[in-house]
Amino acid sequence: MILNEIKSSHLRLVAQPAQVTPMKVSVIIPALNEERNILTTLLSIKKQQGDFEIIVVDGGSTDRTAEIARPHASVISSERGRAVQMNAGARLASGEILLFLHADSILHPDALSNLNQALKDPENVGGTFTLKFDSDKFLLRFYTFFTRFKFRYFHYGDQGIFVRRSVFEQLGGFKEIPIMEDIDFLRRMHGRGRVALIKLPVTTSARRFLKRGLFRQQLLNTILVSLYVLGVKPETLSRWYLPEPATSRLRRIGFKAGESRFDSPVNTESASYQKPDYD
């Protein structure tokens, strides 16, 4: 009987799962004139559980974006351009996981814990969340319904993109193109392994839809993505989506279309790094 108890105790000990230390997440936020939204975004991150850091990459804001962000995050400056800014943030990140989040997007309270859970599976190289708009209009709820499915062209940067740092480096970061950098990156990430879909929403601003019209904006998005998949260059597509100064500005930065500068050093003359104050 005593022998049986010893065997039973041994079996219980063996059956206990090993404790896995959560991986550190670097949340990288490209921002430009987001003084109205950045604080809400940052506070949604600071409520998360686990080990994380926040890096805000300012692309030359003329408002109080950097000033508002500074007490809550590491703030750096870089050349303007979402892909350029995200690569700059990644170069300074120390986390094993990189999460790229728009400055007008809010994380679900359990986002980072679910992210860590998803990446316990070594087959998962990264992933996205589902999408929710900060407006309850029917058409917007209808559009976001499709983000619950794993079809790759239903997922964009608005939903947050997370990736193992090692995979990000293997891919060379984001291609520094004026538009579609998120779709391009997700497509290349699919080539490295399984891409997880966490069914918790990232809530993002509906301002572009409300300003341009719900149907018109979604139709434009669908046309642009379709043309990109068919091979139309991002520089051509951006003329329909971005102001002309934003597209020409990328040409002045000094790289060829589609090139990634993730591996290049941070230019200390144009980037400043400030330690965060989490008090």
Q: Does some domain include residue 275?
A: no
Question: Is the model's pLDDT at 13 over the cut of 50?
Answer: no
Residue length, the chain?
Answer: 279
Closest CA to 204 of 151, 147, 162: 147
| Confidence class for position 154, pLDDT limits 50, 70, 90 | low
> How many Cα atoms within 13 Å fall on the side-chain side of residue 156?
17
Q: How many C-beta atoms surround the C-beta of residue 79 within 10 A? A: 21
Question: Is the model's pLDDT at 135 over the cut of 60?
Answer: yes
Question: Is the model's pLDDT at 254 over the cut of 50?
Answer: no
> Model confidence over 38-67: pLDDT tens digits?
999 999 999 999 999 999 999 999 999 999
Residue 90: give its domain's CATH number: 3.90.550.10
Question: Is the model's pLDDT at 70 over the cut of 90?
Answer: yes
> Model confidence over 79-130: pLDDT tens digits?
999 999 999 999 999 999 999 999 999 999 999 999 999 999 999 999 999 9
Q: Please give the span between the terminal C-alpha atoms of the chain, in angstroms, as a whole number.
A: 58
Residue type, 90: A
| % of the chain surpassing 90 pLDDT | 53
Structure tokens at 248: 């020409």
Between 18 and 193, the more confident residue is 193
C-alpha–C-alpha distance, residues 225 and 146, integer Å: 15
Closest CA to 161 of 131, 134, 141, 191: 131
* Range(s) of the domain holding residue 64: 22-253
The percent helix, strand, coil of the chain (3-state, each to 5) is 45, 20, 40
Inter-CA distances, 167 with 73, 124, 126, 139, Å: 24, 11, 8, 36
Lowest mean pLDDT among 91-95, 169-173, 223-227, 264-268: 264-268
Q: Does some domain include residue 95?
A: yes
Name, of 61-65, 207-211, 225-229, 242-246, the range with top average pLDDT.
61-65
Q: Does some domain include residue 274?
A: no
Structure tokens at 97: 């996981």
Q: Does some domain include residue 276?
A: no
Q: What is the pLDDT of residue 151?
A: 62
Q: Does some domain include residue 77?
A: yes
| Confidence class for position 274, pLDDT limits 50, 70, 90 | very low
Q: What is the pLDDT of residue 20?
A: 62
Average pLDDT over residues 12-41: 80
Q: Does some domain include residue 273?
A: no
> Model confidence over 20-30: pLDDT tens digits?
678 999 999 99
| Confidence class for position 275, pLDDT limits 50, 70, 90 | very low
- Name the domain count of the chain: 1
**Could you tell me which residues are beta bridge partners of residue 55?**
28, 74
Q: Does some domain include residue 188?
A: yes
Structure tokens at 64: 């109080």
Between 37 and 7, the more confident residue is 37
Q: How many C-beta atoms surround the C-beta of residue 261 within 10 A? A: 20
C-alpha–C-alpha distance, residues 41 and 193, integer Å: 29
Between 14 and 278, the more confident residue is 14
Q: What is the pLDDT of residue 2?
A: 45
C-alpha–C-alpha distance, residues 123 and 107, integer Å: 24
Q: Does some domain include residue 220?
A: yes
